[in-house]
Amino acid sequence: MPVNRLFEKAKRLVESGRVEILGQGVYNVIGDHGTYTVVQDYTGKWSCSCPGFMKKANCSHIAAVIILTKMKRRQKPKQS
């Protein structure tokens, strides 16, 4: 999948509320063809249970989680 298309799909998943935080580094993503688990391990490496990740080691589900986490970091108020 071209990078632009992957990013657009990931953005759509976030905007439609299809990414759920389950716990520390674990997310549930409702994709177009199923529901997948995205995990970030202690080294920072991402993985996803979708078939696309198994073939290409990259997918829109991981991109969606990264987008969501970056958005949440920006929304946190700075404490003084």
| DSSP characters over 33-72 | S-EEEEEE-TTS-EEESSHHHHHHS--HHHHHHHHHHHHH
pLDDT under 50 in the chain at which residues?
A: none
Counting the structural domains of the chain, the total is: 1
Flag whether 61 is in a domain.
yes
**Can you give the pLDDT at residue 80?**
53
Is residue 59 included in any domain, yes or no? yes
Tokens matching residue 70 = 């970056």
Question: Range of 35's domain?
Answer: 3-75
Flag whether 80 is in a domain. Answer: no
The whole-number pLDDT of residue 78 equals 60
pLDDT value of residue 1: 64
Query: Tell me, what's the pLDDT at 79?
Result: 59
What does the chain come to in residues?
A: 80
